[in-house]
């Protein structure tokens, strides 16, 4: 019978720091299990880069709100869950060891090869951790799904935005983007 190895977040962080699996392996810890995430393809990298550039234009508003945007941070959602989203909006880090769910105002995932997974598993885990807003950017479908108002382990609200619509940056009033600018 196979043996399943279970990890907690501290062991996961130590594994990542050890670099025993190399620099290019992208692992997340979900429900105590290590999950290898697919490598980023050209479309994924393009969309993430465009989002980063747009968020940079919002940096004065973010800074005024005591926030910043961070690319590829480790986010501790629970003792069994740690993820590496594409982008987050959160206060500047005050400690080492990664961000906590309570720090995050917005998490952004770009989903090309992982859309179904991000729409189900990741949404459930972010909601259970109380992440207030989750953007799921699906460039192949040309939509951004915005999940908000986590309650009882699920998001109470889901809105879908397409190119030509105004997508508000929830963390900073008055800042909005057109999905056409990054897809």
Alpha helices in 27-183 (DSSP H): 42-57, 59-64, 115-117, 123-129
Contact 170, 105 (CB under 8 A): yes
The pLDDT assigned to 23 comes to 62
Q: Taking the domains of the chain in order of start, what are their residue ranges? A: 40-181
Q: Which of 74, 86, 93 is nearest to 29 (CA)?
A: 74
The pLDDT assigned to 131 comes to 96
3-state secondary structure of 143: strand
pTM, entire model:
0.87
CATH code given to domain 40-181: 3.90.1570.10
Residue 67 CA: distances (Å) to CA of 51, 64, 77, 126, 147: 16, 7, 19, 19, 20
pLDDT, tens only, 5-23? 677 676 667 666 666 665 6
Q: Which residues of the chain are modeled with pLDDT < 50?
A: none
Residue 104 CA: distances (Å) to CA of 10, 42, 129: 19, 27, 10
Q: Which of 5, 170, 16, 168 is nearest to 98 (CA)?
A: 16
């Amino acid at each position: 019978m196979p043996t399943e190895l279970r990890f907690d977040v501290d062991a996961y962080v130590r594994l990542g720091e050890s670099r025993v699996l190399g620099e290019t392996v992208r692992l997340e810890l979900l429900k105590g299990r290590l999950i290898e995430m697919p490598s980023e393809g050209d479309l994924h990298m393009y969309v993430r880069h465009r989002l980063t550039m747009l968020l940079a234009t919002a940096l004065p508003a973010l800074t005024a709100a005591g926030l910043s945007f961070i690319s590829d941070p480790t986010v501790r959602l629970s003792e069994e869950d740690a993820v590496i989203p594409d982008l987050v909006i959160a206060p500047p880090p005050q400690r080492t060891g990664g961000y906590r769910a309570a720090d995050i105002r917005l998490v952004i995932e770009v989903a090309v090869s992982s859309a179904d997974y991000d729409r189900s598993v990741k949404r459930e885990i972010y909601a259970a951790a109380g992440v207030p807003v989750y953007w799921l950017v699906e460039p192949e479908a040309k939509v951004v799904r915005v999940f908000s108002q986590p309650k009882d382990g699920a998001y109470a609200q889901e809105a879908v935005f397409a190119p030509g619509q105004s997508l508000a940056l929830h963390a900073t009033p008055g800042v909005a983007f057109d999905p056409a600018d990054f897809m």
